Homo-oligomer: A and B are copies of this chain.
Amino acid sequence: MDRVDVDLLKEVADMRMGNPILGAFNIRKNGEGIERRSTKDVDIIPKTDKPGIDIIVKPNSKPEDVHIPVIVTQSGFSDKVYNDFIIGENAEVTIIAGCGIHNCGCDDSQHDGIHRFVLKKGAKLKYTEKHYGEGTEGGGKRILNPVTIVEMEEDSYCEMETVQIRGVDSTKRDLEATLGKNAKIVVLERLLTHDDQFAESNMEVVLQGEDSSAQVISRTVGQDNSVQVFNPRVIGENQCSAHVQCDSILMGNAKISSIPEISAEHPDAMLVHEAAIGKIAGDQILKLMTLGLTEEEAEQQILNCFLK
């Protein structure tokens, strides 16, 4: 691993030199698994039929955090990977994924991760996924198109946090979740686009089970000439509840569209959606400037709080 690799791993998976990783992990670089470790509670098994790994968490276990970062440093490299996660009954685990692309060449680099999660009865998963791109010298783009499928059995809980802060030229995210009885999903999406970047986020949460619930919080910032499109969709097929909240800050000449759908197909479905798009209020900036910040610092401070 060279300096670029180390920097990318730190950025996307908080894996630092000198900080030993205690749990299971898998590091994928330019389409190859370069390091991997299973533990007594977590098996990481390379797939034999297609690129990717199976991550199997033992029932009733509470393993150390699992790290599965992907880095792409070869300009023009296009990587597609299928990862399956089976979280056993009543297991409780945190999985840290992420993809960092360093592209200083002139060709586009792309990573498409297809992640499928099965949460068995009573399983608890906290999943974070951070996307990051760097290297603009050559003009090659950094493209990330993640697909996430979540199947949640009775009483399971899933918290998904996805973060894309800088450097990804184009992204199309798809999330599909199906919830069983009393299952709960919390989705936190944080996204910042700048320059001519494009981001599309599609989400379909199907509340199938009785007393299932979903909470979706999306916070995004559009800067420069970037474009963002959001299609969160929540379908209530049983007694269930959902709250979807999308807030976006407009800067520069960015364009943002929010097209949510809430569909109640059961008399005891309670679905709420809120969306707001607008620029930072002038009085917020003024207030921080009276405390001694410049206008740029004030703006940055507000963005940091908003995306935290």
Protomer copies: 2
Stretch at the interface among A64-72, A102-110, A142-150, A246-254: A246-254
Q: Does A303 contact B (CB under 8 A)?
A: no
Q: A250-B269, A269-B250 are in contact. Are A264 and B275 (CB under 8 A)?
A: no
Please, which residues of chain B bring their CB within 8 A of the CB of A260?
259-260, 273, 275
B-side contacts of A258, CB under 8 Å:
261-263, 273
A238, chain B: closest CB distance, angstroms? 13
Interface membership of A279, Cβ < 8 A: yes
Interchain CB contact under 8 A, B257 and A263: yes
A175 contacts partner chain B, Cβ-Cβ < 8 Å: no
Q: Which residues of B contact A263 (CB under 8 A)?
A: 255-258
Q: Judging by beta carbons under 8 Å apart, are B277 and A269 in contact?
A: yes
CB distance from A189 to the nearest CB of B (A): 17
Interface string of A144-162 (1 = CB under 8 A from B): 0000000000000000000
If over half of A's interface residues share one DSSP class (helix, strand or loop), that class is named, otherwise mixed; here it is strand
Which residues on B sit within 8 Å (CB–CB) of A256?
263-264
Docked Cα-Cα span, A271 to B230, in Å, equals 14
Which residues of B lie under 8 Å from residue A261 when comparing CB positions? Answer: 257-259
Answer yes or no: A196 CB below 8 A from chain B CBs.
no
Least Cβ–Cβ distance between A129 and chain B, in angstroms:
26
Q: Which B residue sits closest to A276, measured CB to CB?
A: B272
Does A268 touch B at the CB level, under 8 Å?
yes
Cα distance A116–B270 in the bound complex, in angstroms:
37
Q: Is A297 an interface residue (CB 8 A)?
A: no
Considering the complex, give the chain B residue whose CB is closest to the CB of A262.
Answer: B258
Say whether A32 faces chain B, with CB atoms less than 8 Å apart. Answer: no
Q: A274 within 8 Å of B by Cβ?
A: yes
Q: Once the chains bind, are A277 and B264 in contact (CB under 8 Å)? A: yes
Task: Give the CA-CA distance A275 to B267 in the complex, in Å.
Answer: 16
Inter-chain contacts of A268 with B (CB < 8 A): 279
A211 to B281, CA, bound (A): 16
Q: Is A138's CB within 8 Å of the partner chain B?
A: no
Contacts of A265 in B (CB 8 A): 255
Q: How far is the CB of A55 from chain B (nearest CB, A)?
A: 35
Question: Given A257-B261, A259-B260, A262-B257, A277 and B267 touching (CB < 8 A)?
Answer: no
- Decide if B257 touches A277 in the complex (CB within 8 Å): no
Tell me whether A51 is interfacial, beta carbon within 8 Å.
no
Q: How far is the CA of A248 from the CA of B262 in the complex (A)?
A: 11
Alpha-carbon distance between A265 and B252 when the two chains are bound, in angstroms: 11
Q: Is A278 an interface position by the 8 A CB rule?
A: yes
CB of A241 to closest CB in B, whole Å: 8
A254 to B265, CA, bound (A): 7
Assembled-state Cα–Cα distance A175/B277 (Å): 23
The 4 closest A-B pairs by CB, nearest first: A270-B278, A257-B263, A259-B261, A264-B277
